[in-house]
Amino acid sequence: MAKAPIAGAAKTRLAAEIGVAQATRFARQATAALLVRLGQDPRWQTILAVSPDPYANSPIWPRKIVTCGQGPGDLGQRMQRLFAAHAPGPLIIVGTDIPSLAAGHIATAFRLLGGGDAVLGPALDGGYWLIGLRRRPHLLRPFARVRWSGPHALSDTLANLSGRAIAFLPRLGDVDSAEAYGLCARHFGRRLLPRS
């Protein structure tokens, strides 16, 4: 899932701390880097779900990547819609602002879904950077009453999945604050960060 890198609309929490231009450049570069790392792996099909919807058809996305709109609603409504809309079988959703995310994480998540109902990748801030659902024999609804963009998103989602077989991936950090941006710069250098 990606927000189109539109100044003032993408990475708004980060922009409040480091400036709109720098946050927008980061969003653009982080998405491009993620698509390079994951987009052409033959073990899965990558679909880029874009918000706002009209930008799903934008020429800014690589031509080899399938795109779709996320539709309206909060984050949970949009994720639930994606889980319901695509072909049967396991499906995994990730954000585009997780610099540590590698193809191995995705491969492990799909393997874990073979023996469970859901897989989650916890984030450092109390949310999560990945959620995957097996979607058989029926589609679970893990997003009701989840408090998004805060420390309760993971625990609220887990409460909705009570009684289900859930697997976990390693805890990774996303980039939503100046502190996380600085850590990203130190660990990944200029590969994932815009030029000043």
Q: What is the pLDDT of residue 190?
A: 52
Identify whether the C-beta of residue 122 lies closer than 8 Å to the C-beta of residue 128. Answer: yes
Distance separating alpha carbons of residues 103 and 47, to the nearest angstrom:
15
- Quick: pLDDT tens for 4-55: 989 988 899 899 999 999 999 999 999 999 999 999 999 999 999 999 999 9
pLDDT of 181 reads 87
pLDDT, tens only, 117-166: 999 999 988 999 999 999 888 899 999 999 998 899 999 999 999 999 99
When pLDDT is cut at 50, 70 and 90, the band that residue 180 belongs to is: confident
**In which band, very low, low, confident or very high, does the pLDDT at 187 lie, cut at 50, 70 and 90?**
low
Give residue 188's pLDDT. Answer: 61
And the tokens for 138?
Answer: 């029926």
pLDDT at 186 over 80: no
pLDDT at 59 over 60: yes
pLDDT at 196 (0 to 100): 34
pLDDT of residue 110: 98
Sheet holding 66-69, edge to edge: 2-3, 47-51, 66-69
Q: Helices 103-113 and 20-38 sit at what angle, rounded to 10 degrees?
A: 60
CB-based contact 1:82 (threshold 8 Å): yes
What domains lie within the chain, and their CATH numbers? 2-191 (3.90.550.10)
- Judge contact between 118 and 166, C-beta under 8 A: yes
